[in-house]
Amino acid sequence: MSESRRNFLRAFGAMTVGAAVAAPAAAAPAAAALPSSAAPAAAGTTAPSPRWAMVVDVGKCIGCQSCTMSCIYENAVPEDSFRTIVSTYEVQEGGRTAMVMLPRLCNHCADAPCIPVCPVGATYQQADGIVVVDADRCVGCAYCVQACPYDARFINHHTGKADKCTFCAHRVEAGLMPACVETCVGGARIFGDLADPDSTVSKLVAKGDSKVLKPELGTRPHVFYLGLDDRLTGKVEGEPTLWRPRATESHA
Q: How far, in Å, CA of 12 to CA of 191, rounded?
A: 15
Residue 197 or 237 having the CB closest to other proteins? 237
Per-residue interface string for the shown chain with other proteins, residues 182-221, x marking contact by CB under 8 A: -------------------------------x---x----
Which among 65, 66, 61 has a CA at the least distance from the CA of 99? 61
Q: What is the DSSP string of 173-233?
A: HTT---HHHHH-TT--EEEEETT-TTSHHHHHHHTS-EE-SSGGG----SEEEES--GGGS
Binding status of residue 95 toward other proteins by CB under 8 A: no
Which of the stretches 176-184, 192-200, 202-210, 238-246 binds other proteins when contact is defined by CB under 8 A? 238-246
* Beta-strand pair 123-125/96-104: unpaired
Cβ 178 to other proteins, closest distance in Å? 18
Residue 55 or 145 having the CB closest to other proteins? 145
Q: What are the two backbone dihedrals, phi and then psi, of residue 48, each rounded to the nearest 5 degrees?
A: -60, 140
Residues of this chain, 31-70, that bind other proteins according to CB under 8 A? 63, 65
Positions in the binding site for other proteins (CB under 8 A): 63, 65, 80, 82, 85-93, 99, 104, 113, 116-122, 137-143, 145-151, 154-155, 160-161, 213, 217, 231-232, 234-241, 243-247, 250-252
